[in-house]
Structure 1
Amino acid sequence: MNGITAWMEKYIVPVAAKIGSQKHLVALRDSMIGMLPATLAGALAAMISAIVTTFPSSIQQMVDGPTKFAALAPDKVWTLANVPIIGDLNNISGLVNQGTLTVIGVIFAFSWGYNLARAYGVNDLAGGIVSVATLFAGLPNQLGSIGTALGTGKAGTAAMTKINDGISAQLIATYKPFFAAGHLDADAYFTVIIMGAIAVILYAKLMLANITIKMPDTVPPAVAKAFLAIIPTIASLYVVSLIYYIFQKLTGHPIIYLIAKYIAAPFQVLSQNIVAVLIVTIFVSIFWFFGIHGPNVLSPALDGIWGPLGLSNQQLYFKEHISGIQHLISQGATSQAHAVNNEYVNLWVRGSWDAFAWFGGSGGTITLIIAILIFSKRKDYRTVVGIGLAPGIFEINEPIMFGLPIVLNPIFLIPFTVAPLISVIIAYVATILHLVNPVVVAVPWVTPPILNAFMATGFDWRAIVVVVINLVITFFIWTPFVIAANKLEEEEVD
C-alpha cells in the first residue's frame, strides 16, 4: 500500500494539481458553476410542468392501464392544468424554461467568455459579449417561411426559388435572419467551448498587447473600458467569422454541424460507455484521496461532457414529460444515432453520480458516518462524525474527508474507491435495462440522498429502491474498514 501511495504521489498527484490549476480548465469549471442558478430555475420549471400536466392522470393511467387510458376522450383526462391558478403557474413555468434551458447555450457562452477573460486578467464583461457574439455569428440562418414578406405570384416564386438555390447577400441584408432554438440550447456547448475560446483568447491577447484605443484620463472609466475593447473585439469576431465562412465554403455545412457530428457526437457515445463512467469515478476518488477536489479537477469532463447531456434530458423532460421519455427509451432512442424524430434520451448524465453513487459526497461517505456511529469505538472518529453528520446529509463531506481523515489514509482508500464503483455499476445496469428512469432533472447538489434520486428521475419510485440497495451495499463495504480502524487504534495504544 505504501509503495502504491508513493508512486501515485510521484506521478499522479502532480498531474492532477496542474489540471486543477490550469486557467482554461478553471475558467470552464467556473463557467459551469456560474450557470447553476439558471439551470436550477429551468429544473424547477420542468418539475412543475411535469406535475401539473400529468397529475393525477398518471395515477389514472396506472389504474386503468395504458390501453384503456389511451382510449379515453381528451375531456375525460383531468390534470392539475385544468385548475385556473395552477394552470397559469404551468404557463409561467413555460416562460421560465424558455428563458433558461431553451437558451442555455447562450447563457453558457456569456459565462464562458466572462470567466475566460477574467482568467487572462482583461475586461471580463467584454469577454462574455465576445463569446455570445461568436456563438450567434456561427449559427445557420433559417429564414423559414418568408413567402409572406416576399409576396406571392411570379415575383414571390422567383424569390423563393432564389432562397432554395442559395441565400444571396442582398437577401441576408434585407431580411432579418431567424435562429432555430435548437442551436441555442445545450447542443451549442461544444461550439461555444471551441470557437468561444478562440475568440476570447485572441481578444485577451490583443488587450494584453495594448492594441487598443486609449482615451484621455478625463473620460469616465466605463467609457474608457469600452473603447479599450473595441479593436480586440472587432479583430476577434472577424477572425472567427472568417473561420466560419471558410468551413462553410469548403464543406457546405455550418461549423456548428461539423463540431456536433465529429466532436460532440463521439464524446456523447463515449460518455454512455460503462468503461468511461467507471474511469471518471475511479479518478474522482483517487484525486480526493490525495486531498485534491476530484469533481473540480474533472469538471471539464463531468460538466463539459456529461453536463450538457443532463441539460438535454431536462429540456426533453419539460417537453415530453416522463411518459415521453419512457416511450423514447422503449423505441431504443438512447443516442443521437438512434434518435426518433431528432429526439433521444441520454441514459447517464452528470447528475447520475449524485443521484446513485455519491451519497453524502464522493465515496458515499454518509454510509461511513453511519458505520462509525454503529461500530466505531474511537473517540476521535465519533467526535468528527458528530460534526460532519449534518453537512453529510446535505452532500458536504469535507469535515469527514479532512477530519477523520480519509485523505492520505491508506485504510480507507479501498472502500472510498470501491463503494462508488459498485454503486455506479448497479445504477448503470438498472438504467440500461430500463428498471429505473434516467436522470432527467437537475436537482440542487445539496439535496439529501434518496430524495435526490427520486426527484432527479422524474419522481420514479424505483430510484428509491436502487438508492437503498446501493446505500446498504456501500454500508457493508465501509463497515469492515471501520472495524479495522478500531483495531489499528488499539495497536497504536499498546
Structure 2
Amino acid sequence: MLKNPGITKETIGEIIALYANKISTNRYIAAIRDAFASTIPITIASAFFVLINNVLLAEETGLLREIPGRTFLSELCVQGYNGTIGMLGIMVTFLIGYRLARSYGNDGALEGIIALACYITLIPNTLTIVGNNGESIQANGILTQTYTSASTMLLGILAALFGITLLCKLSTNEKLKIKMPDSVPPAIAKSFNLLIPALLTITVFALLETGIRTLTGVTVPELVIEVLQAPLVGGFQSLSGILLYVFLSTVVFIFGIHGSFVFGAISGPILLTSLQQNIDAINSGNVVPNIVTQSFLDAYVYMGGGGTMICLVITVLIASKRKDERMIAKLGGISSIFNISEPMMFGLPIVFNPIYAVPFCLTPIVATVSAYLATSWEWVKPTYISIPWVTPPILSGYLATAGDIRASLLQAVIILLGILVYLPFVLLSNKMIKEDL
C-alpha cells in the first residue's frame, strides 16, 4: 500500500509515461532513433553476408569450404559487407541530419549532405602506406573503413546533431540568405539560401578539427573515442552496466512503455560499435573484445520479446489451469517465437499486473547474468554476427555466434531458468483466480 492514498499505480504509470514520452519525442533522440530504424534493411542484409562468409565459407570450419568458386563467393560477401555495415557510419550520419532537419521543418536532403560534410571535415583523410622495402608514402583524400563503418559512429552522430542544429539556426537569419529571382526553380533557390549557413557551419567544424589537431597532436576521432566512446562502450561491457540498462528498459514495460523504443536511441550506437569492434577483431584474427552487443541482447535476453517472454508462454502452457491465460498464451506464443511480445504484454496482461511484474523484470536479469558469465568464461563464443531481431530463439544464438551450437544450448538453459522464475507466479495467478471465484 502506498502511504499517500491519492497516488496509485495508475498515476505512477502516467508520470513515468509522461517523462518517457518527453524523452522519445525529443527531436534529437527521435532523429537518432528514426535514423537507426531506417538502416534495419542494411544491417539485416549485412548479417547474411557476414554469416555466409564466417559460417559456410570459412577456410577451416566452413560447411561449404570445399565447393568450387568458394573464393569468388567469399569475395562477393566481403564486398556486400563493405557496402552495407561497412558504410553504416556514413549512412547514419546522413540520416540523422535528414531527420533532424525535418523536425525543424526543412526538406532534409541537403541538410543530410551537410551533416555528412561536417563529419568528414572532422576525420583524417591522410593514410600512411608502408611498402615491402620499408619506405612509406602518404596518400591524401582517403576514407578508410575505420571512419565509414560503425567504429567511429558516435562522432558522426555528434557531427550531425551539432552541425544541423547550427545550420538550421543560421538559416533562419534573413541576412544570411541569398535572394534569387522568382524565375529561379525553388530547389536551386533553396540551395542558394543555405549557401552561407552551410559555409559557416562547415568552417566551424574545419576550425575545430584543425585547432584540436594542431594544439594537441590528437585527431578529433581519437579524442572522441578516448573521452566519450570508450567509457560508454566500457560501461555496457561491465556486468553492472548492462544489468542496469536491461532493468531500466524492462521495468518501463510494466507501465505500458516500450523500453527498447525509449532507450534504443541511447543503446543503439554503443551496441553497434561493440559489434563492429568484434567483427574487426575476427577479421584481423585478434581476440574479440566485447561480450555485450545488440546480438547478445537479442539472442539471450529478449527471447520471445521483453521480459524473456518465451519463458512465460511455455510456463503458462505447462502449469496454468486458467483458460483465459492458456488461450492468450496459445495465440501470443506464435508471435513470441519471433520475439514479438505485445500480444502477451497487453493480453495476459503484464502491464499494470502486480503478479507478473516481478518475474517479468527478474527473468531478463537472470538471462543477462547467465549469458554474460558463460561468454566471459568462454563456454560460448562471443556474438559478432548481426541477426534480425525476429530470429527465433535457439536458432538466434547459433547464428549470432557464427555457428556455435553451445550458444543454442545456453539459450535452452536460460529458457529453463526463466520457466523456473515464472512458475511460482503462474501458480499464484491460478490460486488468486480460484479465491475470487
**From 279, 295, 298, the counterpart of 1:351:** 295
Contact 2:114–2:198 (8 Å) recurs in 1: yes
Aligned equivalents of 1:194 and 1:28: distance in 2?
Answer: 10
Q: 2:197 aligns to what?
A: 232
Determine helix, strand or coil for the equivalent of 2:61: helix
Residue 258 in structure 1 maps to residue 223 in structure 2 = yes
Question: Aligned equivalents of 1:371 and 1:209: distance in 2?
Answer: 62
Residue by residue, what CA displacement relative to the aligned partner does 1:293-339 show, whole Å, maximum 9, x if unpaired? 1011111332022222113323444x25xxx4xxx44xxxxxxxxxx
Residue by residue, what CA displacement relative to the aligned partner does 1:240-280 show, whole Å, maximum 9, x if unpaired?
Answer: 11211221222122211111111111222222111110001
Distance change >3 Å, CA 477–CA 360, structure 1 → 2: same
Secondary structure in 2 matching 1:213:
coil
Deviations along 1:417-444, whole A, 9 cap, x unmatched? 0001001000000011111111110100
For residue 487 of structure 1, report the CA deviation from its aligned partner: 2.3
1:84 is paired with a residue of what secondary structure? coil
> What is the Cα deviation at residue 143 of structure 1?
4.5
Distance 2:103 2:294 in 1: 25
SS at match of 1:199: helix
| Equivalent residue in structure 2 for 1:94, among 78, 90, 111 | 78
Task: Provide the rounded CA distance (Å) in 1 between the counterparts of 2:140 and 2:384.
Answer: 35
Aligned AA (2:279): Q
Out of 238, 241, 244, the residue aligned to residue 273 of structure 1 is: 238
Separation in 2 of the partners of 1:82 and 1:186?
A: 32
Query: Per-residue deviation at 1:488?
Result: 2.2
1:133 aligns to 2:117 (yes or no): yes
Q: Deviations over 1:446-474 (max 9, x none)?
A: 00111111100111111011111100110
Structure 1 residue 378: Cα displacement: 2.7
Question: Does residue 396 of structure 1 match 2:340?
Answer: yes
Structure 1 window deviating more from structure 2 (34-43 vs 427-436): it is 34-43
More moved, 252-261 vs 383-392? 383-392
Q: 2:86 matched to 1:106?
A: no
Letter in 1 for 2:85: L
The one-letter amino acid of 1:47's match is: L
8 A contact 1:347–1:432 mirrored in 2? yes
SS of structure 2 residue aligned to 1:144: strand
Of residues 338, 357, 376, the one that matches 1:413 is 357
Q: 2:398 aligns with which of 442, 447, 454?
A: 454
Contact 1:364 1:419 in 2 (8 A): yes
Residues 391 and 282 (structure 1 numbering): CA distance in 2 closer, same or farther, change over 3 Å? Answer: same
- 1:95-139 residue CA offsets vs partner (Å, 9 max, x unmatched): 111212322221221122122222222121112111211121111
Matched, 1:22 2:50: no
Q: Does 1:194 align with 2:158?
A: yes
Q: Which amino acid aligns with 1:310?
A: L
Distance 2:195 2:230 in 1: 36
Where do 1:338-487 residues align within 5 Å?
344-487=288-431
TM-score normalized by the length of structure 1: 0.80
SS of equivalent to 2:379: coil
The answer to which of 414-423 and 5-14 deviates more is 5-14
SS in structure 2 of the partner of residue 442 of structure 1? coil
Question: Quick check: 1:212–1:231 contact (8 Å CA) kept in 2?
Answer: yes
Aligned mates of 1:367, 1:48 — CA distance in 2: 30
Q: Distance in 2 between matches of 1:176 and 1:272?
A: 36
- What is the Cα deviation at residue 80 of structure 1? 3.8
Whether the 8 Å CA contact 2:94–2:160 is kept in 1: the answer is no
**Aligned-pair CA distance for 1:31:** 1.5
Task: Identify the match of residue 287 of structure 1 among 242, 246, 252.
Answer: 252
With structure 2 as the length reference, what TM-score do the two structures score? Answer: 0.90
1:207 aligns with 2:171: yes
Q: What amino acid maps onto 2:409 in structure 1?
A: V
Q: Is 2:16–2:255's contact at 8 Å kept on the other side of the alignment?
A: no
Shifted more, 295-304 versus 278-287: the winner is 295-304
1: CA distance, partners of 2:244 / 2:395: 26
Task: Let me know the Cα RMSD of the aligned residues.
Answer: 2.6
Cα distance, 1:47 vs structure 2: 1.1
| Inter-partner Cα distance in structure 1 for 2:12 and 2:216 | 46
Task: Mark the CA change 1:52 to 1:102 in structure 2 (over 3 Å): closer, same or farther.
Answer: same
Identity within the alignment, %: 31
Match status 1:118 vs 2:102: yes
CA distance in 1, matches of 2:197, 2:48: 39
Gapped regions of structure 2 (runs ≥ 5): none
Q: Give, in whole Å, the separation in 2 of the partners of 1:458 and 1:232.
A: 48
For residues 127-175 of structure 1, the C-alpha deviation after alignment (integer angstroms, 9 at most, x for no partner) is 211121112111113253599xxxxxxxxx9x98xx8xxxxxxxxxxx8
Counterpart residue type for residue 115 of structure 2? S
Please give the per-residue CA displacement for 1:393-440, whole angstroms capped at 9, x wherever unaligned.
111111111122111111111010000100100000001111111111
Q: Distance in 2 between matches of 1:278 and 1:7?
A: 27
Distance 1:464 1:80 in 2: 21
Distance 1:82 1:461, change over 3 A: closer
* Whole-angstrom distance in 2 between the partners of 1:388 and 1:269: 36
Work out the CA distance in 2 between the residues paired with 1:186 and 1:422.
30
How far apart are the structure 2 equivalents of 1:359 and 1:269?
24
Partners of 1:34 and 1:316 in 2: CA distance: 27
Post-superposition CA distance 1:69-105 (Å, at most 9, x none): xxxxxxxxxx845533443222211111121232222
Partners of 1:218 and 1:396 in 2: how far apart? 53
State the one-letter code of the partner of 2:147. Answer: H
CA distance change for structure 1 residues 307 and 132 in 2, over 3 Å: closer, same or farther? same
The question of whether the paired residues in 1 share the 8 Å contact of 2:55 and 2:402 is answered with no
AA aligned to 2:434 is E
